[in-house]
Amino acid sequence: MRIFFLLAVLSYLLPSVAQASEAPCGPEAACEIEGGSYHLLTPPEWDGEKALPAIFFYHGHRSSGTSVFRGGALKSVFAEAGYLVIAPNGATAPGSDVRRWPARPGAGRDDVAFSLAVLEDAAGRVPINRERVYASGFSAGGSMAWMMACYAGEHFAGFVSISGALRRPVPKETCPAGPVRLLQIHGFADRTVPLEGRGIGDWHQGDVFESFGLARRTANCRSQPDEITLDADFRCREWTSCDSGALKLCLHDGGHGLPKGWADLGRDWLEAPLR
């Protein structure tokens, strides 16, 4: 009994920030909240007190939050640069263990509300700089980043979608959340999520060009890009002379995947001052 009492006292005396950063959840062990779970990774040199910029990363279909840390880029480009990385887990369909992001209103769990609940829970574990919270994702997770931009963009400072688009049905005129800063990275040869999207059963993946048309109307950008850049890896079109926010579309020659350099391109976009 005395041993258990001493353990309880010691655990009470441990600094709360250390508890948040070391236990009970992280890249492998999930942080559990009502409605689902998520994973997080703190910077290796974090002092346990400084409020951190944070980036959400939504995994692809049939993947999970813990799997996104295994590629390395989120750790080397974001976590090691001082970011808190937050990786929510998609919900599973009834009778299935496949995690997914339907990324359209009325389909399954309310993932917009769930994501905002994840943000609040993470902020209770680790101090977060609310002026520098971003969202990103791959494939279905990229579509989820678009959904957060369109329906809850005011909670984030910027977005990076890789190989995803805003899934149909899209709002008729403008996004409810208003203008945002958003970068789309997409493979020209992507056949899994083509630039034009494709129909699957009774739903459609969404069209990148349709998504950008909606985003431009929302931000009142002109139709033609303000800047076009070409390099060995990406061909980019950028809209900056908007009433608010900014948009960028970068294509690479590959197919459906995370291209080399995506994280550096994304971080540069998120951190660059608006022109």
56 located within any domain: yes
Count other Cβ atoms within 10 Å, centred on residue 185.
27
Mean pLDDT over 86-92 rounds to: 97
Give Rg (Cα) of the chain: 19
Instruction: Name the pairing type of β-strands 181-187 and 246-252.
Output: parallel
Q: Is the model's pLDDT at 21 over the cut of 70?
A: no
**Is the Cα torsion angle 156, 160, 164, 165 positive or negative in sign?**
positive
pLDDT confidence band for 236 (50 / 70 / 90): very high
Looking at the predicted structure, is the pLDDT value of residue 184 above 60? yes
pLDDT band at 112 (very low <50, low <70, confident <90, very high): very high
Place of tokens 């001052």: 273
**Residue 222 CB-half CA count within 13 A:** 8
What count of Cα atoms within 13 Å lies in the side-chain half-sphere of residue 74?
A: 29
CATH of the domain at 205: 3.40.50.1820
The domain in which residue 44 lies consists of 18-271
Band (pLDDT 50/70/90 cuts) for residue 23 is very low
With cut-offs at 50, 70 and 90, classify the pLDDT of residue 273: confident
Mean pLDDT of 249-275: 95
Mean of the per-residue pLDDT values of the chain: 91
Distance, CA of 200 to CA of 20 (rounded, Å):
41
Model pLDDT, residue 44: 95
pLDDT at 11 exceeding the cut of 60: no
Residue 209 lies in a domain: yes
Lowest mean pLDDT among 20-34, 197-211, 223-237: 20-34
pLDDT at 242 over 60: yes
Burial of 255 (0-12, 13-18, 19+ CB in 10 A): middle
Preceding amide of 194 cis, omega within 30: no
The answer to whether position 175 is within a domain reads yes
Domain membership of residue 6 (yes or no) is no
Indicate the number of domains in the chain: 1
State the Cα angle at 195 between 93 and 200, rounded to 5°: 35
CA 26 to CA 189: how far, in whole Å? Answer: 35
In a domain, 174, yes or no: yes
State mean pLDDT over 159-164: 98
Sequence-distant (6+) residues with CB within 8 A of 128 are: 51, 52, 53, 54, 84, 119, 122
Q: Is residue 5 part of a domain?
A: no
Residue 247 has pLDDT above 60, yes or no: yes
The whole-model pTM stands at 0.90
Cis peptide before 171 (omega within 30 of 0): no
Indicate whether 13 belongs to any domain: no
- Inside any domain, residue 12: no
84 pLDDT tier (thresholds 50, 70, 90): very high
Give the mean model confidence (pLDDT) for residues 53-71.
94
In terms of pLDDT, which residue wins out, 11 or 242?
A: 242
